Amino acid sequence: MAKRTSTHRSQARFNARVLPGAEPAPFPGFIEPQLATLRRSVPTGEDWLHEIKFDGYRIQGHLIEGRPALMTRNGHDWTHRMPALAEALARVPANHLIVDGEMIIPDSKGRSDHDALKAALGAGGQSHRFLFYLFDLMHLDGFDLRAAPLMDRKRVLKGLLDGIGPPIVFSDHMEATGQKMFEHACGMGLEGVISKRADAPYQSGRSEDWIKVKCVRRGTFTIVGYTREGNGLVAALHLARKEGRELSYVGKVGTGWSMAQSAKLRQRLEAIEAERPPVAVPGRPPKSVWVQPRLKAEVEYRDITTAGLLRHAVWRR
């Protein structure tokens, strides 16, 4: 992509320089992203702001002398995989910029469609379908803003994006109503919310200043097989659900139990082993042992993919 020759001007550039904590600094390059800590309840109080948790890919956007770059959470350059987003980012009125956000593909109801996102990235040439939700600003035209309070960084970011429009979108937030926002998000089938301390700096790595709470579903599924682990334990369970009179395979769950529970599961499963799976299993996973469909598992999960498989499944009992 051609380097931009004109210098962009925006009031946000000057607002950023006077933020408490803003420091003159050279462009730092890729910044290790800040990560949220998973909790079961939304924090309360006026110290927190609450954003929608998007079910997409974390992307860090750069402008270097006006030239856009899009980096993954691990610092890989994906600019070539999403040219439409790169071109849109180049319209932001800055010469040097680092922003943090999430790339999604929305479904017909505006929700993140993770399956569609994976398919589009695999197919290539579909970056026109992507939306890039920006929720933080770490560097702007010679100033490092990471030490500035989050609310101030977001205020400058919102002003910087004024008039840009999709596919670049400002990720808005709510204050002091986190639980209501969480309930609304779950009711809409969204992934959850991320709550952030309004006065906190941007800190690379996992932090208690960012709390994520996920919407989860719970269901009971039939155990149709398992994979063995050493020392008499279970590595994963193969699950199915009843559809009419037939069982339909829904994938695996491999987390949620203690070592003692895993050993007890192994003993019960060994007693009902079968030569063949009681359900059609795509690909016949290697090292799997099949069982008679006598036991059930209660599982929490995020969603069911378009292929009919559980996402982010956790065994409960």
Is it true that the peptide bond before 20 is cis, omega within 30 degrees of 0? no
Q: What is the pLDDT of residue 183?
A: 85
What percentage of the chain reaches a pLDDT higher than 90?
44
Q: What is the pLDDT of residue 132?
A: 95
Q: Which CATH number fits domain 11-33+51-175: 3.30.470.30, 3.40.50.11540, 1.10.10.10, 3.40.1160.10?
A: 3.30.470.30
Average pLDDT over residues 152-165: 92
Q: What is the pLDDT of residue 3?
A: 47
Write out the CATH class of domain 217-315: mainly beta
- At position 290, the amino acid (one-letter code) is W
To the query of whether residue 53 is one of the catalytic residues in this protein, the response is yes
Per the structure block, which two tokens stand in for 144? Answer: 């490092």
- Write out the DSSP string of 98-145: EEEEEEE-B-TTS-B-HHHHHHHHHH-S-GGG-EEEEEEEEEETTEE-
| pLDDT of 126 strictly over 90 | no
Q: How confident is the model at residue 176 (pLDDT cuts 50, 70, 90)?
A: low
Q: Helix, strand or coil for residue 158?
A: helix
Pairing mode of beta strands 34-38, 205-214: parallel
Does residue 267 or residue 310 have the better pLDDT?
Answer: 267
Q: What is the pLDDT of residue 5?
A: 39
Contact between 240 and 293 under an 8 Å Cβ cutoff? The reply is yes
Instruction: Tell me the pLDDT tens digit for each residue of 215-235.
Output: 877 888 889 889 888 778 888
Contact between 48 and 208 under an 8 Å Cβ cutoff? The reply is no
Q: What is the pLDDT of residue 2?
A: 41
Average pLDDT over residues 93-112: 90
| pLDDT of 8 strictly over 60 | no
pTM of the complete model: 0.75
- Let me know if the fold of 11-33+51-175 is the same as that of 217-315: no
Q: What is the mean pLDDT of the chain?
A: 87
Domain ranges of the chain: 11-33+51-175, 217-315
From 3, 53, 196, 252, the catalytic residue: 53
| pLDDT of 86 strictly over 80 | yes
| pLDDT of 12 strictly over 60 | yes
User: What b/e string do you get for 91-112 counting C-beta neighbours within 10 Å, with b at 16 or more?
Assistant: ebbbbbbbbbbbbbbbeeeebb
Does residue 206 or residue 180 have the better pLDDT?
Answer: 206
